[in-house]
Amino acid sequence: MPPANPAFHGYGLGLRREHYRQVLENDAELDFVEVISENFMVDGGQPRSILRQVREQRPVALHGVSMSIGSADGLDRDYLVRLKALVDEIDPLFVSDHLSWSRFASFNAHDLLPLPYTEEALEIVCANIDQAQDVLGRRILVENPSSYVAFADGAMSEWRFLEVMCARTGCDLLLDVNNIYVSARNHRFDPAAYLEGLPFDRVRQIHLAGHSQGLELLIDTHDAAVCDAVWRLYEEVVARVGSVATMIERDDAIPPLKDLLEELAVARAIGERSAAVRLRAAQ
């Protein structure tokens, strides 16, 4: 099994094209940035050059959307080879993707599609994670999804699925707090039960994001600020997990950088407050 991921305490942003220049030219208070892996899995040109410049300044996490960890017919070898080349060049802080699937045979939906939480799906997911970690030579982080459907033949809870997946493969977790909130509302479960069942010792990174209200369901749109309910859930997460790499993820309706940094300051304040409480409790 590849070596364990390092512990990293810090606060960052999902770096998007709108902010490349500002992040490169200004001394923004960012301990790390995360980029979408696929945007840089190209042969050459300016995107790759910009990423190299960003990496010279601060740690970079690679976050993928197309590994399709839940594909019943295995992973795309060409995809893995390209990701490996990027990993070798950038030496990222973390490499992550989602507990979902997007590819089936020759079809690629380019969306994070839901999995049934069955033993068969667990075996497939674990085999795919093993393959990815073998090719990449490092442990990956797997993000809990937001979902809009639950399958009738699901045999276990999502948090149990994550726990067993981590135990079998050695992978770690990227915990998206907004996704817990969205799925809890959509599927009417108690987020506290989710937190109770999670293997917090495997959480290496946290995502915070906004969502929007659909006709019947909450939609994980990443186009709004983090809402109060998600901030409260984040406080509970931080109380359990301690200080791990935490970031704001925004993919649509991208605001000015200073707005995202102000939002990140809220996360930083919550994290520091929680650390102080833990310190007092330990004394």
Partner 1 sequence: MKLAALQSDFHAWLTRGSASAADRLGAGPGLVVYQNNYRSQLVSALREALPLTLTWIGEEAFVGAAAGYIDRSPPSAWTLDAYAPGFAQALAEHFPGDPEVAELAWIETALAEAFVAADAEPLTPENLARVDWEQAQLQLPPSFRMRTVRTNAEAIWTALSSGASAPQARMLDALTGLIVWRRGFTCFLKAIDDIEAAAFDQIHANPSFSALCENLVGTLGEGRGLQASSAFLATLLQFGLLTSIEAPRADASPEGGSPTPQR
Q: Smallest distance from the beta carbon of 153 to partner 1, in angstroms? A: 6
CA distance 120 to 219: 28
Residue 109 lies near partner 1 (rule: CB under 8 A): yes
For 20, 47, 48, 85, 205, the CA distances from 43, given in Å and listed in that order, are 19, 10, 8, 10, 29
Q: Smallest distance from the beta carbon of 86 to partner 1, in angstroms? A: 13
Number of residues that bind partner 1 (CB under 8 A): 48
Structure token pair of residue 69: 């960890």
Residue 25 lies near partner 1 (rule: CB under 8 A): no
| Positions in 183-222 near partner 1 (CB under 8 A) | 186, 214, 216-217, 219
Name the one range near partner 1 by CB under 8 A: 54-62, 129-137, 148-156, 165-173. Answer: 148-156
Number of H helices, E strands in the chain: 9, 12
Q: Could you tell me if 275 and 235 are in contact, meaning their C-beta atoms sit under 8 angstroms apart?
A: no
- Report CA 226 to chain centroid distance, whole Å: 15
One DSSP character per residue, 82-116 reads: HHHHHHHHH--S-EEEESSEEEETTEEEEEEE---
| Positions in 39-78 near partner 1 (CB under 8 A) | 41-49, 66, 70-73, 76, 78
Q: Smallest distance from the beta carbon of 252 to partner 1, in angstroms? A: 10
User: Which positions touch partner 1 (CB under 8 A)?
Assistant: 38, 41-49, 66, 70-73, 76, 78-79, 101, 103-111, 113-116, 118, 120-121, 124, 147-153, 186, 214, 216-217, 219
